[in-house]
Structure 1
């Protein structure tokens, strides 16, 4: 009976060990699935936030009128970064603002569609389909200009900033 009792104890220990290992493996698997799901949610939130930012910022950059172009376009500089910020500043100061001042020009901009083409934790590239409607005495036909833009964004201190823009 002593050999039989020892054998039963061995079986109990083996079953308990296997059950313990199975429980630990199950807990680890659930933890990994939760982390993966949480990571997916964060990626989706990043994509949504970057798309919203791109839509808003592109409109800020491309909608203006002759009375407020200087102030409005310079305000957009606050949401730009890097070399692109300086490039945009040069364009608005040397081309856009001088071209519209005192000419009763109004340019409205609407984003027809936008979608993320790539996203990291703190950067994203968003493809934006933009329509601009220009009105004023020099534009009797009210032309609409359609553009496809590749917008590069970087997140800094929780705020999305445009770091590059390419017309495609």
Structure 2
């Protein structure tokens, strides 16, 4: 049984385009944690197949090698056809490589180097993805506390603390929720909500978008209840990297 190739691993044809290979790689690692060994295998396959020079060398290795010419029979008669003089007479004259061909080869080589350099910055290394995932997870743990906490006596400060961690798109959704629920009910009931993080884990990772699962402990008090009522629940926090900063782009509550 032959060993699966990088093409087999990414489930693409050997003549697949760069776009097809990149799409297959992203789909393969979408649900994997960067520490998963399958993530590393898929990324290694993409690094080879998205680099024109490395892909060409890899394809050359995969091609079957022609069998070597059989050794000459020492018992064969030394007929004129086998003499060095005859062989030299039959040998074609050396050809001169045209100058235009050398120019084309040079241009193609320069393009290959430029493409490889571009791919170096476009396709992240395993370590870069792992670092980004850790940063997004830490940012999610920090952001979720002010987003899900508030004090009826200091609502403006509570809102300002939360919105600083939000993308512009999600900030609009949060503002609607804040105005519709907190501003209407909290002052009347004197509610104070304090949230803390118990633990977290990465659900899905990517270059600039990471989903983090966070287990929260939330204590609520109000004018009628001095003793805090505490609940635990999970939230899925979608983190998005904008201008080098990880911000909350979405938040879903789970029982």
Q: Fold match, TM over 0.5? A: yes
TM-score with structure 2 setting the length: 0.48
Deviations 1:96-123 (A, max 9, x none): 1221126443211001111111111111
CA distance in structure 2 between the partners assigned to 1:117 and 1:52 by the alignment:
14
2:148 to 62, 82, 100: 62
Question: What residue is the counterpart of 2:61 in the other structure?
Answer: none
**Number of residue pairs the alignment of both structures matches:** 132
CA distance in structure 2 between the partners assigned to 1:72 and 1:98 by the alignment:
15
Higher relative contact order (CA 8 A, sep 6+): 1
Whether 1:74 aligns to 2:153 is no
Which runs of at least 4 in structure 1 moved beyond 6 Å after TM superposition? none
Larger radius of gyration: 2
Question: What residue is the counterpart of 2:209 in the other structure?
Answer: 123
- Partner SS for 1:68: helix
CA distance in structure 2 between the partners assigned to 1:58 and 1:138 by the alignment:
27
Q: Which runs of 5+ in 1 are unaligned?
A: 1-34
2:240 to 135, 145, 154: 154
RMSD: 2.0
CA distance in structure 1 between the partners assigned to 2:137 and 2:148 by the alignment:
17
Q: Which runs of 5+ in 2 are unaligned?
A: 1-119
Question: What residue is the counterpart of 1:99 in the other structure?
Answer: 185
Which has a greater percent of strand? 1
TM-score with structure 1 setting the length: 0.71
- Partner SS for 1:137: coil
